[in-house]
């Protein structure tokens, strides 16, 4: 799944929360229109966010991090809203046309206990449509 698809899957129709990308770019609103993502920047103008833009990666990462921060956290595959247990297969699943889970913040490394591999999984409840995330991984 591309970053563009991830943003579209996490973004409600409109979001009015400021997102600081860097010292020069601050996004004040996001809006989605079918497969387009529109951003309103500091001067009040609206622009279509496109993957070919030179600063797309930093803008997309900032948006994803902000959207991700607003999701409720779960301990596992259980929806924190309705307590429905969700698909934990290796192949994933689809809800409302979005392939899930979305993986973020992958970390690999080693310490005195051995090698480790951790990541965050973003899920969408097949029952109530709530989105949530949890930390996964192991040694």
Residues 17 and 29 reside in one and the same domain: yes
The domain boundary residue, chosen from 15, 44, 69: 69
pLDDT in tens, 20-37: 777 666 788 888 888 889
The domain boundary residue, chosen from 40, 69, 98: 69
Residues 134 and 80 reside in one and the same domain: yes
For residue 82, pLDDT over 90 is answered with yes
pLDDT in tens, 106-119: 889 888 888 888 88
Residues 60 and 86 reside in one and the same domain: no
Does this model's pTM top 0.85? My answer is: no
27-95-49 Cα angle (round to 5): 25
Q: Distance between CA 137 and CA 139 in Å, rounded? A: 7
Residue 129 belongs to domain spanning:
73-139
Residues 57 and 103 reside in one and the same domain: no
With a CB cutoff of 8 Å and minimum separation 6, the contacts of 137 are 107, 116, 117, 118, 119
pLDDT of 19 reads: 80
């Amino acid at each position: 799944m591309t970053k563009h698809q991830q943003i579209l899957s996490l973004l409600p129709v409109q979001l009015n929360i400021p997102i600081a990308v860097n010292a020069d770019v601050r996004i004040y609103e996001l809006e989605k229109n079918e497969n387009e993502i529109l951003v309103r920047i500091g001067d009040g103008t609206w622009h279509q966010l496109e993957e070919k833009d030179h600063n797309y990666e930093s803008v997309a990462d900032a948006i994803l991090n902000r959207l991700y921060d607003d999701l409720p956290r779960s301990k596992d595959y259980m929806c924190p809203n309705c307590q429905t247990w969700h698909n934990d297969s290796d192949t994933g699943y689809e809800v409302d046309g979005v392939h899930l889970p979305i993986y973020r913040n992958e970390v690999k490394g080693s310490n005195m206990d051995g090698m480790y591999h951790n990541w965050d999984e973003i899920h969408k409840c097949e029952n109530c449509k709530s989105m949530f995330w949890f930390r996964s991984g192991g040694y």
